[in-house]
Amino acid sequence: MDISPQCFSILLVLCIFIQSSAHGQSLKPEPFGRRAQAVETNKTLHETKTRFLLFGETNQGCQIRIHHLDTLQECGFNSSLPLVMIIHGWSESVQFSRSHVHLIGYSLGAHVSGFAGSSIGGTRKIGRITGLDAAGPLFEGSSPSNRLSPDDANFVDAIHTFTREHMGLSVGIKQPIGHYDFYPNGGSFQPGCHFLELYRHIAKHGLNAITQTIKCSHERSVHLFIDSLLHASTQSVAYLCSDMDSFSQGLCLSCKKGRCNTLGYHVRQEPRSKSKRLFLVTRAQSPFKVYHYQFKIQFINQTETPIQTTFTVSLLGTKEKMQKIPITLGKGIARNKTYSFLITLDVDIGELIMIKFKWESSAVWANVWNTVQTIIPWSTGPRHPGLVLKTIRVKAGETQQRTTFCSENTDDLQLRPTQEKIFVKCEIKSKTSKRKIR
């Protein structure tokens, strides 16, 4: 190869695609206990199978090693010169099926992956493309041919993590661009990435904390995908829904007819004619998985005006228990209305067997409540009106199990300020009542 007199650098990337069956290697992640061995194996494969060669005016192919920044200096890399990247693919003579290819692109790279997929001629497409918070500016609202789209591969999945708009633009694209589009925490912003977390980022990243905070939500898509590989036994599940508001009410925890899917590497690949938007809640750090529950409660408000208050729910499962999860119901509790809301847990508590529901009002408010009832003897309503809770219906998203809970004390169904009531499975309560009758 003749080198032009003009100084420039050419980075030659030899990407050798190796069919795993030919070498007896599995592409699936190893069990968690063998991760150290897997990392060492992957490191060896990177060093021996993929070569990064830098060609310049003074060298004829100096190898750059991954995670060894000193090799850049050794090879004479000059950051002030233009950089040309040549990426070698595979030849049809190798008889490697395109359907085995999985392209993963982050930000602008997601659309580049789409262009690579769409540019391949013939009837055989690339097997899969994953877009990790694909870039929004200049791509939002564009035609499918000008961005990543479901037509670019046999299966396209996308994870949207930073679609919040600033001056009409968002870093990540908001519109659906795949067969399955995942919107963790609504897709606009991610937990743990707010500027209020800056002090924590300073402790972790030092002077780079501000940069890390700004790109935190955008990069979360990458970490979510990596998380699906590191924690193969605890995959995050997302659910088909129209928007995050409906999802936050617990209205979308259905897995019927493909309405739910796994986020990340292990997604169930079902090409659809129409894009599906799926939502889920995640933790602020790895492992990101949470467990979703829909709670439906019918309140009977014995007062004339809506009650503005906060409740806490404590859950007891067969594996774990969770204490005092706060709940606030919008504009207050009106008369005879059923409320649905979403509760998420960081741990698997197993099968839910008992619920403690408490009206969290201050002692001052409780005294005022009782005083008002005492000084109004002419009131035609109940002497000590409150809220009546008959049943609590719960649906677990991950197991799809539905359970109805009844008050343990059927003689007094009223819930008053600072009071806590215990709810158990209705069938258990029914059996207990029958034994008492006998």
| Catalytic residue positions, numbered | 107, 133, 218
Strand partners, 102: 128
Residue 179 CA: distances (Å) to CA of 67, 116, 131, 150: 35, 18, 11, 6
Residue with structure tokens 């990177």? 46
In this structure, are strands 9-14 and 83-88 parallel, antiparallel, or unpaired?
A: parallel
Rounded Cα–Cα distance for residues 352 and 148 (Å) = 42
Alpha-carbon dihedral of residues 16, 19, 25, 26, nearest 10 degrees?
Answer: 110
Rounded Cα–Cα distance for residues 210 and 25 (Å) = 41
What is the chain's length? 438
Closest CA to 136 of 175, 105, 167, 104: 175
Alpha helices in 172-266 (DSSP H): 198-205, 209-230, 244-248
Closest CA to 426 of 324, 353, 319: 353
In the DSSP assignment, the letter for residue 172 is B
Strand partners, 338: 298
Closest CA to 9 of 47, 69, 52: 52
Q: What is the enclosing helix (H) or strand (E) of 431?
A: helix 426-437
Give buried/exposed letters for 291-322 (b at 16+ CB in 10 A, else e): bbbbbbbebebeeeeebebebebbbbbeeeeb
- Asked if residue 260 lies in contact with residue 247, where contact means CB atoms within 8 angstroms, the answer is no
Question: Does the annotation place 152 within a ligand binding site?
Answer: yes
Residue 369, both tokens = 């409540």
Say whether 308 sits in a helix, a strand or coil. Answer: coil
- Asked if residue 219 lies in contact with residue 201, where contact means CB atoms within 8 angstroms, the answer is no
For residue 324, report the phi and psi dihedrals to the nearest 5 degrees: 45, 70
Alpha-carbon dihedral of residues 359, 364, 366, 370, nearest 10 degrees?
Answer: -170
| Cβ-Cβ contacts under 8 Å for 202 (sequence gap 6 or more) | 209
- Asked if residue 173 lies in contact with residue 109, where contact means CB atoms within 8 angstroms, the answer is no
Rounded Cα–Cα distance for residues 423 and 296 (Å) = 13
In the DSSP assignment, the letter for residue 333 is B
Query: Which residues make up each annotated binding site for Ca(2+)?
Result: 147, 152
Query: Which residues make up each annotated binding site?
Result: 147, 152
